[in-house]
A = this chain, B = another copy of it.
Amino acid sequence: MNAATVIALAAAISAALFAQQEPGSAPPKARTMAEVIAASGPADWRRIDEANTIYVELESGRVIIELAPAFAPQHVANIKALAREGYYDGVWVVRSQDNYVVQWADPDGTREIKTGRRTLPAEFSRAMAPDLPFTRLPDADGYAPQVGFSNSFPAARDPTAGRAWLAHCYGMVGAGRDNDADSGGGTELYVVNGHAPRHLDRNVTLVGRVVKGIELLTSLPRGTLPMGYYEKTEQRIRIVSIRVAADVPAADRTPVEVMRTDTPTFEALIESRRNRREEWFKVQAGHVELCNVPLPTR
């Protein structure tokens, strides 16, 4: 298929998407997101998996990251090992690049590792499998043949290649690496703080997403060196500690539930964002992009 055909198809699909917003074509049970959430029941939510959740403690508060062992099992295990041995306690946010990522690391790269590993084989994508949940978003995506949601994480698939991977939406967390694909491992973690850099998909191992406290990271001053690195060491922000949530005494845990993404309620939520019924809206988009679908927490 050549570029002209691609463009023709793009025009056709765009026309089709736009046709969906004709007056009268809205589904009969059109609801706003607020109405969808208000009508949700206990089965529409799940408690985050605290055995695979980390608390990033900053002096300003707690950032909660749910990890995704289904997509990056080795990285998740290593991050938990590093957290448990105290590797991250006292590392620094060294980089805050506007509209891209905020990242923490041992600036010198010399901190001792006891039980974890410094590098791991890349986990950029994994094999598709029947037991890997995937609620497909019908809306077209330019970066992947299929996009959708897997256990409340934004994800993508290529059925031809038989591969699935997590997608770089706002708030997703990845393992920084050098040029070698296998040079990451989780000692440096970054969080997406701007428009989804989807070109990073399958180029770096995503390990999870921030489910609470992201504003503590996204509001940090931007670094002025290339790639947003802080110029002066005193500008860095200290990571007080990183703990596996399940290891924290119950009284000190933060209860968080995320909306399940394999339910009719979630399908209704997607539709509530594809076509906005709030009175304020004058034109409905007739489309929703993967990274514009909220993944509610409470």
Contacts and interface: CB of A to CB of B under 8 A. Distances in A.
A124 B140 CA distance: 25
A15 interface: yes
B285 A179 contact: no
Contacts of A19: 1
A221 B139 CA distance: 34
A222 B219 contact: yes
A298 interface: no
Given A18-B145, A19-B1, A220-B219, A292 B6 contact: no
Interface string A93-126: 0001011000000000000000000000000100
Contacts of A218: 98-99, 218, 222
A257 interface: no
Contact of A215 (B5, B98, B291): B98
A279 B179 contact: yes
Most buried by B among A139, A220, A292: A292
- Copies of this protein in the complex: 2
Given A6-B16, A96-B219, A142-B289, 10 more contacts: A9-B16, A9-B140, A10-B138, A14-B142, A18-B145, A98-B218, A98-B219, A194-B194, A199-B281, A199-B285
A: interface residue count bin: 35 or more
A125 B285 CA distance: 14
Secondary structure call for the A interface: loop
A32 to B, nearest CB: 13
A127 interface: no
A285 B139 CA distance: 18
B292 A146 contact: no
Contacts of A20: 3, 6
A144 interface: yes
A62 interface: no
A6 B15 CA distance: 10
A145 B19 CA distance: 11
